[in-house]
């Protein structure tokens, strides 16, 4: 039986009437060619059954990344914050950034921060800066609100940390808030807690696509029907103003254990217990934010930052740019922490 001839890049070039280099640029989605030209060439390659030689691709990638360079390539790290001082007060975002920075250095890249907040930049200015500095890889890092960020996306390989802005269709790396909630509920059930309630902010529910409530509702099946407590969703704009409503909810449903991602509740715990005239077990869903002796979930913010860099550099190496029709979500699991053990036990 004769083996069919492998379709080469030259075959594609001859079929269209262009140079082989043009085909190579188009298949690598190089921005030097018009989008229409790239699409025509890629379509012809598909029709002819062209597939890259994996061994050759690996060799080319190795040669490109083993050459010494005068300066490491730069990844833009965009945050909707005013400055570094604001970042210092947001621990999870600081952990995202610091670990992304470390991972970039390990891979031979440089991470440069751009604070897209309070009029620091506009989209046109950022586009110009990125073009001048030859920055083609971007991480949109944990935006808290929708934004007017509108770059020439076809130039960039992009990863988002967390889902916002929703209108920017790129792959996402984020903490697995469904697993976080399920882990907390599982641990409480194992410890014999019965009346377990959950409180989250409306904004958190929206920007995680309801992963908190999904984990909570699924986990309630572990508890007896009479012990299942409806979840409490708060505005979260001014926690002190909402405290009476929260206490009322705790009283009505006889909540004995409160699972929450609202770290700001910790200073109010004593006040809440006085109002209830009983003890309340508070279980934070992000124990990294506390210096207290509370048990809770330790979210793996470090891995989120590292994975974001791994993903964006992979896109850069393969020259994959622009928005995606079907983005993927990379969820990073967390582990359980109890102060008496002085260490986290990994969730399996």
Enumerate the domain spans of the chain: 9-66, 74-176+303-333, 177-298
Topology match between the domains 9-66 and 177-298: no
- The closest of 161, 47, 144 to 99, measured between CA atoms, is 161
Condensed to tens digits (0 to 9), the pLDDT of residues 227-239 reads 999 999 998 888 8
Per the prediction, the chain carries an average pLDDT of 88
Report the range of poorest mean pLDDT among 83-87, 134-138, 154-158, 285-289. Answer: 285-289
Give the confidence band of 346 by pLDDT, cuts at 50, 70, 90. very low
**pLDDT for the residue 343:** 44
Structure confidence by residue, pLDDT tens digits, 294-344: 899 999 999 999 999 999 999 999 999 999 999 999 999 999 998 865 444
Name residues whose C-beta falls within 8 Å of residue 164's C-beta, 6 or more positions apart in sequence: 142, 143, 144, 145, 146, 147, 207
Tell me how far apart the alpha carbons of residues 206 and 294 are, in angstroms, rounded to a whole number: 27
Closest CA to 320 of 91, 71, 153: 153
Q: Report the C-alpha gap between 48 and 11 in whole angstroms.
A: 8
Q: Read off the pLDDT of each residue in 196-220 and give the average, rounded to a whole number.
A: 95
**Residue 45 pLDDT:** 87
pLDDT recorded at residue 39? 84
Residue 111's pLDDT is: 97
Instruction: Give the pLDDT of residue 293.
Output: 77
Residue 8 pLDDT? 85
* pLDDT exceeds 90 at position 289: no
Q: Which residue has the tokens 């550099």?
A: 313
Per CATH, is 177-298 categorized as 3.30.1130.10? no
Which of 19-23, 143-147, 173-177, 199-203 is predicted most confidently? 173-177
CATH topology classification for 74-176+303-333: Rossmann fold (3.40.50)
Q: What is the mean pLDDT of residues 186-196?
A: 97
Q: Does the pLDDT of residue 55 top 80, yes or no? A: no
pLDDT of residue 347: 47
9-66: CATH topology:
434 Repressor (Amino-terminal Domain) (1.10.260)
What pLDDT sits at residue 121? 80
CA angle 304, 310, 313 (to 5 degrees): 135
Residue 19 — very low, low, confident or very high, per pLDDT cuts 50/70/90? Answer: confident
Give the residues across from 232 on adjacent strands.
199
pTM across the whole model:
0.78
Alpha carbons 295 and 250: distance in angstroms, whole number = 20
Pairing of strands 329-332, 335-338: unpaired
Higher pLDDT, 345 or 252: 252
């Amino acid at each position: 039986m004769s083996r069919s001839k492998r379709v080469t890049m030259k075959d594609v070039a001859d079929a269209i009437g262009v140079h082989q280099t043009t085909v190579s640029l188009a298949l690598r989605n190089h921005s030097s060619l018009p989008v229409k030209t790239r699409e025509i060439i890629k379509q012809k390659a598909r029709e002819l059954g062209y597939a890259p030689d994996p061994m050759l691709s690996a060799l080319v990638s190795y040669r490109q990344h083993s050459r010494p360079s005068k300066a490491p390539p730069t990844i833009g790290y965009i945050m909707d914050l005013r400055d570094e001082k604001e970042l210092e007060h947001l621990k999870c975002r600081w952990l995202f950034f610091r670990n992304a920075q470390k991972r970039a250095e390990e891979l031979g890249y440089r991470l440069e921060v751009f604070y897209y907040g309070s009029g620091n930049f506009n989209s046109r200015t950022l586009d110009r800066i990125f073009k001048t500095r030859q920055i083609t890889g971007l991480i949109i890092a944990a935006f808290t609100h929708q934004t007017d960020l509108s770059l020439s996306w076809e130039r960039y390989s992009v990863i988002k940390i967390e889902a916002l802005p929703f209108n920017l269709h790129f792959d996402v790396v984020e903490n697995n808030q469904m697993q976080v909630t399920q882990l907390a509920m599982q641990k409480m059930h194992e410890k014999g807690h019965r009346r377990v309630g959950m409180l989250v902010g409306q904004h958190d529910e929206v920007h995680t696509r309801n992963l908190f409530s999904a984990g909570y509702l699924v986990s309630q099946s572990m508890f007896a029907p009479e012990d299942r407590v409806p979840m409490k969703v708060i505005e979260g704009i001014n926690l002190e103003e909402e405290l009476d409503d929260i206490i009322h909810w705790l009283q009505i449903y006889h909540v004995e254990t409160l699972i929450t991602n609202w770290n700001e509740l910790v200073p109010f715990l004593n006040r809440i217990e006085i109002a209830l005239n009983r003890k309340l077990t508070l279980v934070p869903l992000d124990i990294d934010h506390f210096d207290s002796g509370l048990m809770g979930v330790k979210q793996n913010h470090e891995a989120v930052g590292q994975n974001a860099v791994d993903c964006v550099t992979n896109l850069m190496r393969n020259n994959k740019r622009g928005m995606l029709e079907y983005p993927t979500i990379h969820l990073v699991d967390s582990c359980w922490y109890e102060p008496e053990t002085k260490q986290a036990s990994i969730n399996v």
